Amino acid sequence: MDKRAPWIITLLLVATFITPQAFAATSIKVIASFSVIEDLVKRVAGDDISITTIVPEGDDVHRWELTPPNVLAVEEADIVFYNGHGLEPWIRHVEAMANDTLTLMALAESANYAPLTIPVGQHKGNPDPHMWMDPKGAAAYIEVITHTLSVRYPDKAAAFQARAVQAREALALLDQQIQERLEGIPQTNRILTTSEAAFGYFAHAYGFEYAAIWGLGSETLGSAQAMEIMSKRLTDKRPPALFYESTTPYIHMDALAREAGLTLAGPLYVDTLSDTDGPAYNYPAMLRHNAELLHEALGGARAEE
């Protein structure tokens, strides 16, 4: 017997006691694993498809544990869009629940976009899952989303494809805007240092030297050895600022910043959007916020200059 079976059965039993009306109001057809994926799926699906998201905005996608409402959503869904490459360790439970009619689509693993590797930590050398941090990677996700939705809902394929064209054009414009905004940062200051190694694609796309304390957020955070390695790097490199992420405890970067006498800036957004009132309320806003924060903290030229 699958060792996960008792866990799945328990969640299903708990779910049966949740008021059915909570799920009857909308017909849940498509699931996104977390808010960034949700935003990209909505850009193709529009109002034609009901979408629910497993990991709420602000929560850590790496360390999430499925809830009874998540289980009910999976039971009703046609498609689950998730990132893959190990970003969502809990997806194995969704796979265990999946029936023959459920499509599980790992966007990063299916995208026509060359993966980078994780540079540090327990998962060093594995594919870096954070492809969406480059708009070109997000555009590759759009292609997979469009194809998957069109195959599953062929009567809406024309609408999906039309929206996909608009989404790709918007992403190309976003890429250009981010590039132009970051060009003002002096070459000597283009050193990006974060807690989790989630900005590799962003750094590669926009010309930053990049380093992080650990690899994926699912591993041990800020071990003594990792902190020592980063401390020695900061002695040599002396970047203008260090950065922490919205879903990561800032204590590790704070300790390093104090030790090295460097500025600490953040939060950067990567594994989640903010709420609707926050600075990263959708995917373009997330990248623009990150670019502005880098521009300010790393000494970018002012508009009047």
Exposure string over 229-261, b if 16+ CB within 10 A, otherwise e: ebeebbeeeebbbbbbbbbbebebbeebbeebe
- Based on C-alpha coordinates, what's the Rg of the chain? 20
Pairwise CA distance, residues 48 & 267, whole Å: 34
Output the 3-class SS for 140-208: HHHHHHHHHHHHHCHHHHHHHHHHHHHHHHHHHHHHHHHHHHHCCCCHHHCEEEEEECCCHHHHHHHCC
Pairwise CA distance, residues 131 & 113, whole Å: 8
Could you list the pLDDT tens digit for every one of the 305 residues in the chain? 444 444 444 444 444 333 333 333 445 589 999 999 999 999 999 988 889 999 999 999 999 999 999 999 999 999 999 999 999 999 999 999 999 999 999 999 999 999 999 999 999 999 999 999 999 999 999 999 999 999 999 999 999 999 999 999 999 999 999 999 999 999 999 999 999 999 999 999 999 999 999 998 777 778 899 999 999 999 999 999 999 999 998 999 999 999 999 999 999 999 999 999 999 999 999 999 999 999 999 997 654 44
Are 279 and 285 in contact by the 8 Å Cβ rule? The answer is: yes
With 0.85 as the threshold, say if the pTM is over it: yes
Pairwise CA distance, residues 197 & 117, whole Å: 10
> CA nearest 104: which of 87, 127, 84?
84
- Parallel, antiparallel, or unpaired: how do β-strands 30-32 and 79-82 relate? parallel
Domains recognised in the chain with CATH numbers: 5-176 (3.40.50.1980), 181-297 (3.40.50.1980)
H-assigned helices in 29-67: 35-45
pLDDT at 28 (0 to 100): 52
pLDDT at 301 (0 to 100): 60
